[in-house]
A and B are shown apart, each in its own frame.
Chain A
Amino acid sequence: MPRVCALDVGVATAIRRHGEETFPHECCGALIGRDDRVIAAVGLPNTTEEGPRRRFLVRPLDYRMAEQKASELGGELLGFYHSHPDHPARPSQFDLDHAWPNFAYVIVSVMAGVSKVMTVWYLKEDRSSFDEGTLNGDENSDSDSPSPVHG
């Protein structure tokens, strides 16, 4: 059974809006909640120096801030989200190489400035690939788009 990541009302919309606002650059942010239920998506600055059209980076200081924010909200850090501008919502080799275990990685595809498919992924324990989870609570899910291929 795929692991389920449940988004509270408004979370999916916030992620989609962030991805559209930063298009054609990637957006990124933290997922805060408890027990696979996300209560808040907190946008963070994309500080990559490798080109924000295809990369994102959350610096250690921003990571620390996200953990602090999670405590303030009475939850914990469940993972991170980011966008793939004009690319599918499936993890890349770069995503895999940089992934942390036990985190949910939500990816939203933003095509020509409009958010489309949103997916969630979890790193396998042996770091060989991701397992796709089931994302619940995406009130704007794009049902016309094809399912993403496993990375």
Chain B
Amino acid sequence: MATKILIPTPLRPYTDKQEAVEATGATVGELLADLTTKYAGLKAHLYNEQGKLRSFVNIYLNDEDIRYMQKDQTPVTANDTVSIIPSVAGGWGI
């Protein structure tokens, strides 16, 4: 079962410049695991050293942030669209 994943601009160099790719999995976590297996360059930018999604990486299932659903256990189907949407943060100091 393949689900469509929308890739933001800064990550497209790791998906052969594709704006949308497909991956398989029954949950968002499985889907992202398949995605980063297929496109290995994504991994360091999506996950921190502890293997957790970075805080500024937002995963939306259709139009809903998975943080407010079942996080990486959120079920997905072939009819869903998953989006990786950046937050952009910074500032001076530590």
Contacts and interface: CB of A to CB of B under 8 A. Distances in A.
B49 to A, nearest CB: 10
Interface in B35-94: 44-45, 55-56, 58, 60, 65, 85-94
A42 to B, nearest CB: 13
Given A55-B91, A60-B58, A93-B94, A101 B45 contact: yes
B8 A92 contact: no
A116 interface: no
B9 A57 contact: no
B85 A57 contact: no
Interface string A25-49: 0101000000000000000000010
Contacts of A94: 89-94
B90 A63 contact: no
User: Which bucket holds chain A's interface residue count?
Assistant: 35 or more
A32 to B, nearest CB: 10
Interface residues of B, number: 22
A67 B58 contact: no
Given A67-B8, A93-B94, A105-B90, 20 more contacts: A54-B92, A60-B86, A63-B8, A63-B88, A80-B88, A82-B90, A87-B93, A92-B93, A94-B89, A94-B94, A95-B91, A98-B88, A98-B89, A98-B90, A100-B10, A100-B11, A101-B10, A101-B11, A103-B9, A126-B44
27 contacts: A26-B91, A54-B91, A55-B89, A56-B91, A58-B86, A58-B87, A60-B60, A60-B85, A63-B88, A64-B85, A67-B8, A67-B9, A82-B91, A85-B92, A93-B94, A94-B89, A94-B90, A94-B91, A94-B92, A98-B90, A100-B11, A100-B45, A102-B9, A102-B11, A103-B10, A105-B90, A127-B45
